[in-house]
Each structure stands twice: as structure tokens, then as C-alpha cells.
Amino acid sequence: MEKAIITVAGKGGVGKTSISAAIVRQLVKSYPEAKILAIDADPAVGLATALDVEVTQTVDDIRKSILAASKGDREKKRTIEMLGEVRFRIFDAMVEKDGYAFIAVGRPEAAGCYCSINAYLKEVISMLSGEFDYVVIDGEAGIEQVNRRVMEKVTHMILVTDPSKKGTRVIQTIKTVADELVMYKEIGAVVNRINDEALKGYIDTGDIPVLSYIPDDKTLALYDVQGRSVLELPDDSNLVKGVRQALETIRIL
């Protein structure tokens, strides 16, 4: 079993988080002995909801507590010692679920740039990647985290779009940036929410290979309204089948 760090990216509103959750579901089902980590790296904190995880502490909570504790301390050694504790505190912040672990980046309270939390997230990903067999990262919408090299050491990039021109342009932009800044091994697109087979002929993903086309999933919509986890979806649901095909095509399964 080859270790994999999988990041899921795309514009907002294309079903990126549901696909991330379905990837976690499939990995747990396919590799029950593997150590799997789900990282909710989107400030919208949707992955926790999709997986029905209750988050009590986030990566940003840890970052803020370290900054608060070191404030006014001029001794560099003290700050280094505190940063050395981060590893243990990150593991304390993890939520252990059946078959996988979960951690959320969180949403800074202050408005504006997410630069500091993104830089911290990069270190967290680097720190944890060696501890798990599979890491699934639900990234924030757009290209910011890729552009800031937050995802520079991922192995697989799954770019999600809907049938819209805007969606396909965003994933092509992400790939252009990733080609320069990310050391990925495999990349591919998932075209989500296809409600008409005829649309496939008009969808242009550029030089990004399409891993799967996923039709609208009424079961997912029902589960979402009922507040049920993506992990509960049946094997024959459109989302589950489409994600399984994508993971097979990109050689994770």
C-alpha cells in the first residue's frame, strides 16, 4: 500500500466537500487496516458536517493559544519549545472516528487574509503526512491554498467542477498554478452534478483528464436535508459510484 496525500479543490458550490467525504468513506471501506486522516482545510468547515464529526478544537485554536502564550516573551528558546509542543497538541485536537481520524483547520475570527493559518496548515500537513497512510484534504474554494504552496507536497490532486464554464476554468487555473508550485504525482477532474448526458460533449477540462462524471444524486440531497452523514450513503448512490470510479482511475484503489 503506497501512502497518498489527496487534496480536493475547485470553485465553491460544486460539491467538493461531499466528494471529499465520499473519498474518506471509500478509503475506510477499501482499506480497513489503513490509518486515514481527513483534514477540513476549508474555512467554511463543511467536511465536519458531511462526516457528522463534532469539532471541539481546531488547528487555528492551537495556533492562537501558542501566540497568546508566547506574547511578550522575548526569549527565542521559549518560543521554540512551545512550537515543539504543537505536534502533541495537534494529535490532541484530532477526533477519532470509526476507521479514520479527523482534524479541522478552523476559521479565524478576524476578517481578511488567511495567510497565517495557511502557513500553519502547511506545517501541519507536513507534520502529519508521515503518520498516516492516507490523508484527504478538503481545501478551500479557489486557488489560494495552492498559490501559497499550502498543498505543495500532495501526491494526488482531484479537481472538482460542475458542468459550468466557470467551474472548468477554475480547475484549469488551479492546475496551471499547481504545475509550478505543487509536487503532485497524479491529477484529474471529477465533473459533478451532471443532469444531462448530452452535456458531456460540451465540458472542456483542458489537459486535465476526467476521472468520472457524477450525475445529480437525489439520495445525497435527501440525506443532506435529514442531516445524515455521507458515510451512510448506499453503495449504489451516484456520489459513491462516481467517487469509486475516480479513485480507481487515478490509481488510489
Question: Could you tell me the domains of the chain?
Answer: 4-249 (3.40.50.300)
Q: How far apart are CA 28 and CA 166, in angstroms?
A: 33
pLDDT for 73: 54
Confidence of residue 251 (pLDDT cuts 50, 70, 90): very high
203-215 burial, b if ≥16 CB within 10 A, otherwise e? bebeebebbbbbe
Would you state the pLDDT for residue 41? Answer: 85
**Confidence class of residue 144 from pLDDT cuts 50, 70 and 90?**
low
Average pLDDT for the chain: 86
Radius of gyration from C-alpha coordinates of the chain: 18
Q: What is the pLDDT of residue 77?
A: 46
The pLDDT confidence band at residue 7, using thresholds 50, 70 and 90, is very high
pTM (2 decimals)?
0.89
Distance, in Å, from the CA atom of 225 to the CA atom of 227, rounded to the nearest integer, reads: 5
pLDDT at site 179: 92
95-97 and 100-104 beta bridge pairing: antiparallel
Position 128 confidence tier, pLDDT thresholds 50, 70, 90: confident
User: What confidence tier does 112 reach under pLDDT thresholds 50, 70, 90?
Assistant: very low
pLDDT of 150 strictly over 80 = no
Q: What angle do CA 171, 46, 97 make, to 5 degrees?
A: 115
Residue count (the chain)? 253
Higher pLDDT, 70 or 164: 164
Cβ neighbours around 224 below 10 Å, total: 15
